[in-house]
Amino acid sequence: MISRRNFCKKAMLFIGGVAVPVAGLEIFNPQRLLAEKQDPAKVRWVFLVDTRKCVGCGFCVRACKLENEIPYDANVSRTWVERYVVTRDGKVHTDSPKAARDGFTTKAIDQAGKGMLEIRDEDITKAFFVPKLCNQCENPPCVQVCPVGATYQTPDGVVLVDRTWCIGCGYCVMGCPYGVRFFHPVYKAAEKCNFCYHRISKGMKSACVEACPFGARTIGNIKDPEDPVTRIIMTERVAVLKEEYGTKPQVFYLGMSKEVK
Amino acid sequence: MVHGEVWTAKELFVYPNEYIYWTIQIVMYPFMTGLVAGAFVLSSLYHVFGVKQLKEIARFSLVFSFALLPVAMMPLLLHLQFPFRGIEVMMTPHFTSAIAAFGIVFTTYGMIVAAELWFVYRKYFVETALELRQLTGRSVTQQFRYVLYSVLTLGAWDISEQALEKDERAVKLLAGTGIPVACFLHGYAGFIFGSVKANALWMTPLMPVIFICSAVVSGIALCIVTYIATMEIRKALHAWKQKSSPALPLLDEMKSAELQVVTMTARYLVMFLILAITLELLDLIFRGYTAVKSWDILRSVIYGKDFVNIFVIQYGMGNLIPFFLLLLPRLTIRRAVAGTLLVLLGVFMMRWNVVIGGQAFSSSFSGFMHYHLPIWPDNLETFKEGLFGALLVAITPFVLFWGLNKVIPVFPVKDTH
Amino acid sequence: MSHVWRPLFVALAVVATILCMRLVLVPDDFGIHEQGYMYGWHRKGNETDWKNIKVKYRTTAYCINCHKDKYLDIKDSPHAAIMCENCHGPALGHPQDPRTLEINRSRQLCVRCHFKLPYPNSARGGIKGINPATHHPEAECVLCHYPHNPLRAAVRKEAKR
């Protein structure tokens, strides 16, 4: 005869014995682990920046901040524009005051703690603007280092952050060689450019692309050979940023210069 | 204000979103785990390798390692933007991230130390519980202690010779497995930094090894200091008690901080210290020799902005001076304290120079960031990631040690094994 | 069984607790998705969360619906490429509450492009520009220049003379 005490004991053991492997399998579902990328996606978003067309008006930054609800006065931004001024002595001066939210309305270079640097017009040998945004890397280091799976790559190649799951460790911020990540001042979670995922998934273009009056920013689908952006990337000489990190960035640049960091 | 803006001062061109995101708590994190790992390795030297001279300090450092354990997690929790989501590291671990292993390594290690402690103290638990059981009419505290010790025995009441022998073997085995786990726990803290390819200063495969060596150094150093301090305090307390009741044994009979133990331990410390410095210098020389793209900015940080921190405080005060202090013949307790305290400072500065120094330059390689440690907290953020948050982390292990000592006396009257 | 195994049971109990907590705490749609474990370990529902965010900038195509006159005004001018919302703010909620939109007459807006910067390799160097410190600092630009068609503004100025 089985006593009640014994029955309870055995039942607990059994439940525990079943629950543990079931719960264990939850983490390592072999089938899911095997599910390799078979590349079923028909869309892979890429970005094309023509630095020769950029005039540094900063409308893109403004539009981005308003569209994506990044507090307007906070000193962080999903996208920004850099100014490069090369002088006769070979020095490169770079700045991006307030992420170029209000454009570049002074000739002086903002050197942060070192104050403003006035440069005489005749000393300038080369000067241009470079818009920056998330590269939506093919091998995103920020996703690799997220300890909890709060950031991930969508099947169409965009890297997103789950604000309800991010623990805010900052490892992704450290892992990004491009410095595009930051903590959202309101939501506190890690934040980054996502090509305006809510727009592109509705067939619209990113806010910065719409806001650019000069056509310096364009977005396209590299899987579609008819896409004008794809055509340019396929046929013209384009560059990417910091290729040496092996991130396979998907923001392509026309008119790139060696000074660009 | 954006997270990080309060304590970051930028210079020249820094990307707009770059701030010093990893601050004092991330300095404390490898420092504290280092102490944990070091203390454990020290105790294992006795249990596994049978270094008899370390018997006295071995049990002490094992308990201390256990007291330090929760504190290794504390800085991380204080640093997180969402501390209450920290459990997700265990819930949905993403093992491609070095941090994800934390939950598992940490729990494994914690359980090993706890199990080892259990075996070491099992006899004590059983004896105390049996003693309390005999008492009739237990007071509330006695009842509580009785229940506590009964639970702590885990139902294993057998303290026969054979059973105790088994315990001894289990301790040895656990101490043996504990060493690689402790090294892993800390080496992987080094891996967290060493694998960040976006950071030119951090990215080196030597990082985990350097971290382990300096961890052992700091762990041993802290054990020596705490050991001496506790011994001295006990001596003082005893002397004070003796005044009121002269029946107590004489002061000389009381175990004092044995110079023999300290000298022996200090040897091991110096050994690991040499190893750590060698690796660090190798890393530095290699960087300068290969001079890849990032070297220009690294050089201006290492030899310029952080020169005092690295060469004067870390290498000079933290390594060179204690090296002589500990190695010169006729070591005294006072000199040992000074030497080990300086070693602790040196290891702390090494962590500081890695964590803060690694963020002292922009990933644009054309600008710098300066870190101003928030002293007086004016909100939760500046408390958590400021001086007081760090002090809180630094004090906790001693409080825990004191509490643990109430349950499992490190210096028992009766000798356990 | 020897008492030596007791701590192991405790350890196993801890592991079991953690695994059971997982069953409760982890959302159902959390798992390895299309991009594999390395890049696709996430909560699937979050993709929809992001897609559901409201679009604020509706673009010129949307503005034309009601403001055809303004569109015709600007479409042949050098400002044709500037979308309405760059100067008037995002159109979200505009038809319901017209006051959400602004009419930005500030000089700061115009100097984004028209502050003269002598940058030879940049398109900025080719844009007609002024130095706002010396070019009628007291006046709003729109007093002389008609923003929807700056060419027409020049004509108006000539007529005044």
What pLDDT sits at residue A101? 94
Residue B268 above 60 pLDDT?
Answer: yes
More confident residue, B417 or C140: C140
Residue B7 above 60 pLDDT?
Answer: yes
A57 three-state secondary structure: coil
What strand order describes the sheet that includes A217-221? A217-221, A45-50, A251-254
Q: Which residues of A touch C113 (CB under 8 A)?
A: 55, 57, 103, 213
**Is some CB atom of chain A closer than 8 A to the CB atom of C2?**
no
Q: Using alpha carbons, select from B90, B285, A213 the residue that is nearest to residue C127.
A: A213
Residues C64 and C44 in one domain: no
Sort residue B325 into left (φ over 0), alpha (ψ -120 to 50) or beta. Answer: alpha
Read off the tokens for A153: 């790559």
Residue with tokens 């289990």: B170
Side chain identity at A209, as an amino acid letter? V
Residue with tokens 């030596």: C4
Residues C83 and C20 in one domain: no
The mean per-residue pLDDT over the stretch B33-55 comes to 83
Residue B188 above 90 pLDDT?
Answer: no
In a domain, B350, yes or no: yes
CB contact under 8 A, C3 and B163: yes
Side chain identity at B39, as an amino acid letter? A
Q: Point out the residue among A67, A105, A198 whose CB comes nearest to the CB of C111.
A: A105
Residues C34 and C78 in one domain: no
**Is some CB atom of chain A closer than 8 A to the CB atom of C123?**
yes
Residues C148 and C76 in one domain: yes
> How buried is residue A14: exposed, middle or buried, by Cβ count under 10 Å (0-12/13-18/19+)?
exposed
d(CA C35, CA C13): 34
Domain with B364 in it: 11-407
Q: Are B284 and B58 in contact (CB under 8 A)?
A: no
Q: Are A213 and C114 in contact (CB under 8 A)?
A: no
CB contact under 8 A, B93 and A141: no
d(CA B362, CA B18): 7
Residues C73 and C122 in one domain: yes
Q: Point out the residue among A32, A104, A214 whose CB comes nearest to the CB of C32.
A: A32
Residues C64 and C119 in one domain: yes
Side chain identity at A109, as an amino acid letter? I
CB contact under 8 A, C119 and A127: yes
Domain with C6 in it: 2-51
C31 three-state secondary structure: strand
In a domain, B188, yes or no: yes
Q: Tens digit of pLDDT for each residue in A83-132?
A: 999 999 999 999 999 999 999 999 999 999 899 999 999 999 999 999 99
CB pairs under 8 A between A and B: 154
User: Which pLDDT band, with edges at 50, 70 and 90, does B296 fall under?
Assistant: very high
Residue in chain C nearest B91 by alpha carbon: C22
Residue B415 above 50 pLDDT?
Answer: no
In a domain, B414, yes or no: no
Contacts of B372 (CB under 8 A, 6+ apart): B7, B8, B9
Contacts of A182 (CB under 8 A, 6+ apart): A76, A173, A190, A191, A192, B2, B3, B17, B19
Any bridge partners for residue A109, and if so which? Answer: A117
Residues C30 and C64 in one domain: no
Q: At what angle do helices B24-47 and B161-194 cross, to 10 degrees?
A: 150
Read off the tokens for B43: 């105790």
> CA of B71, closest CA in chain C: separation in Å?
20
Read off the tokens for B36: 């944990």
Residue in chain B nearest A241 by alpha carbon: B364
Residue with tokens 């290492």: B302
Residue A159 above 80 pLDDT?
Answer: yes
Contacts of C118 (CB under 8 A, 6+ apart): A107, A121, A124, A127, C125
**Is some CB atom of chain A closer than 8 A to the CB atom of C5?**
no
Residues C131 and C65 in one domain: yes
The mean per-residue pLDDT over the stretch B182-205 comes to 90
List, as ranges, residues 67-86 from A with C-beta within 8 Å of B: 74-77, 80, 82
What pLDDT sits at residue B416? 42
Residues C140 and C64 in one domain: yes
Read off the tokens for B206: 């030597």
In a domain, B271, yes or no: yes
What pLDDT sits at residue C161? 46
Q: Are B337 and B231 in contact (CB under 8 A)?
A: no
CB contact under 8 A, A188 and B81: yes
CB contact under 8 A, C111 and A85: no
| CA C140 to centroid of chain Cα atoms | 26
> How buried is residue A76: exposed, middle or buried, by Cβ count under 10 Å (0-12/13-18/19+)?
buried
Q: Point out the residue among A168, A171, A261 whose CB comes nearest to the CB of B365.
A: A261
Residue B414 above 60 pLDDT?
Answer: no
Residues C120 and C66 in one domain: yes
Q: Point out the residue among B92, B111, B118 whose CB comes nearest to the CB of C14.
A: B111
Structural domain count, chain B: 1
Cα dihedral A94, A97, A103, A107 sign: negative
d(CA A217, CA A226): 18
Q: Are A144 and A135 in contact (CB under 8 A)?
A: no
CB contact under 8 A, C14 and B87: no
In a domain, B276, yes or no: yes
Residues C47 and C64 in one domain: no
Q: Tens digit of pLDDT for each residue in C14-62?
A: 999 999 999 999 999 999 999 999 999 999 999 999 999 999 999 999 9
Cα dihedral B83, B85, B91, B93 sign: negative
CB contact under 8 A, A165 and C83: no
Best C115, C121, C128 residue to mutate vs chain A (most A CBs within 10 Å):
C121
Q: Point out the residue among A37, A126, A162 whose CB comes nearest to the CB of C121.
A: A126
Contacts of C84 (CB under 8 A, 6+ apart): C60, C63, C67, C70, C91
Residue B417 above 50 pLDDT?
Answer: no
d(CA B245, CA B227): 26
Residues of C with a Cβ under 8 Å from any B Cβ are: 2-4, 6-8, 10-11, 14, 18, 21-22, 25-26, 30, 37-38, 41
Residue with tokens 């004509």: C155
CB contact under 8 A, C35 and A210: no
**Size of chain C, expressed as the number of residues it contains:** 161
Q: Using alpha carbons, select from B371, B314, C16, B159 the residue that is nearest to residue A113.
A: B371
The mean per-residue pLDDT over the stretch B108-114 comes to 91
CB pairs under 8 A between B and C: 44
CATH number, position B283: 1.20.1630.10
What pLDDT sits at residue C152? 78
A137 three-state secondary structure: coil
d(CA C117, CA A43): 40
Q: Are strands A124-132 and A80-87 parallel, antiparallel or unpaired?
A: antiparallel
CB contact under 8 A, B154 and C4: no
A192 three-state secondary structure: coil
Residue A59 above 50 pLDDT?
Answer: yes
The mean per-residue pLDDT over the stretch B57-80 comes to 89
Structural domain count, chain C: 2
Read off the tokens for A13: 């053991």
User: Which pLDDT band, with edges at 50, 70 and 90, does A192 fall under?
Assistant: very high
CB contact under 8 A, A169 and B18: no
d(CA B55, CA B62): 11
Q: What are the CA-CA distances from residue A190 to residues A78, A169, A170, B356 (Å)?
A: 11, 9, 7, 20
What strand order describes the sheet that includes A92-95? A92-95, A80-87, A124-132
CB contact under 8 A, A164 and C46: yes
Side chain identity at C64, as an amino acid letter? I
In a domain, B413, yes or no: no
Q: Which residues of A touch B86 (CB under 8 A)?
A: 167
> CA of A148, closest CA in chain C: separation in Å?
8
| CA C38 to centroid of chain Cα atoms | 30
Q: Which residues of C25-34 are buried (b: 16+ CB within 10 A; e: fewer)?
A: ebeeebbbbb
Read off the tokens for A136: 């939506």
The mean per-residue pLDDT over the stretch B36-51 comes to 84
Q: Point out the residue among B17, B81, B366 whose CB comes nearest to the CB of A179.
A: B17
Gyration radius from chain C CA atoms:
30
Q: Are C116 and A126 in contact (CB under 8 A)?
A: no
Residues C97 and C118 in one domain: yes
What pLDDT sits at residue B320? 94
Q: Using alpha carbons, select from B312, B238, B324 the residue that is nearest to residue B273.
A: B324
Q: Point out the residue among B14, B17, B195 whose CB comes nearest to the CB of A112.
A: B14
Lowest mean pLDDT among A94-98, A245-249, B412-416, C136-140: B412-416
What pLDDT sits at residue B43? 85
Sort residue B4 into left (φ over 0), alpha (ψ -120 to 50) or beta. Answer: left
The mean per-residue pLDDT over the stretch A74-91 comes to 96
Q: Tens digit of pLDDT for each residue in B307-364?
A: 999 999 999 999 999 999 998 888 888 999 999 999 999 999 999 999 999 999 999 9
